Amino acid sequence: MELQEELSPADAVLLMSSVPERIGDLVYGLDEARLRYRHGPAFPTLGGLIGHLLESGSKVDGLLRHAHLDGLAAADVRATIDPSHDHELDRPLQEALEDFARVRRRTVDLLHGWGKTECQLVTRHEVAHIAQIRNLTALLPDPGDLGPLQSHDVTP
């Protein structure tokens, strides 16, 4: 799902609006053990990758809404788009996705016709992470192969 060609601003906004649902579809029904499973030392957990995408997406949305409402022609999303990848989900997945979807809807409503470059940068970042989520999800072992969930694996 890599974006090679130039996207129109409308297409970029449309892709941005679909990110919460795409994530939800990819991880529907996964339990805590599978969200915290690490494929190897260099790989993030699926929960960590989702946490990163939701956090960076929410921060970028705030920046874009602020820039748009202030009448700016552009916003520096590069500094906001990629916070560290050390985030694990700190609340239930469904709750985090619903909050992100709500924030994203407000942003998309404002962005139609604004910020072609910014929207494309955000869209490329998020589509790349959606592809990572899809790939990590496809490689997850069966739940029975993970063993019992340990107390340190459960999000309070």
Cα–Cα nearest to 134, from 52, 49, 57, 74: 49
Which pLDDT band, with edges at 50, 70 and 90, does 24 fall under? very high
Percent of the chain with pLDDT over 90: 31
Q: Are 74 and 118 in contact (CB under 8 A)?
A: yes
How far apart CA 29 and CA 47 sit, in angstroms, is 13
How far apart CA 27 and CA 49 sit, in angstroms, is 12
Q: Are 53 and 136 in contact (CB under 8 A)?
A: no
Cα 64 to its chain centre, rounded Å, is 16
Range 14-20, long-range pairs (CB < 8 A, 24+ positions):
15/123, 15/126, 15/127, 16/104, 16/107, 16/108, 16/111, 16/119, 16/122, 16/123, 16/126, 17/104, 17/105, 17/108, 19/53, 19/57, 19/100, 19/104, 19/126, 19/130, 20/97, 20/100, 20/101, 20/104
pTM for the whole thing? 0.80
Which pLDDT band, with edges at 50, 70 and 90, does 101 fall under? very high
More confident of the two residues 78 and 93:
93
Give residue 85's pLDDT. Answer: 58
How far apart CA 130 and CA 143 sit, in angstroms, is 22
pLDDT in tens, 28-54: 999 888 999 998 888 889 999 999 899
Percent of the chain with pLDDT over 70: 84
Give residue 4's pLDDT. Answer: 54
How far apart CA 114 and CA 8 sit, in angstroms, is 11
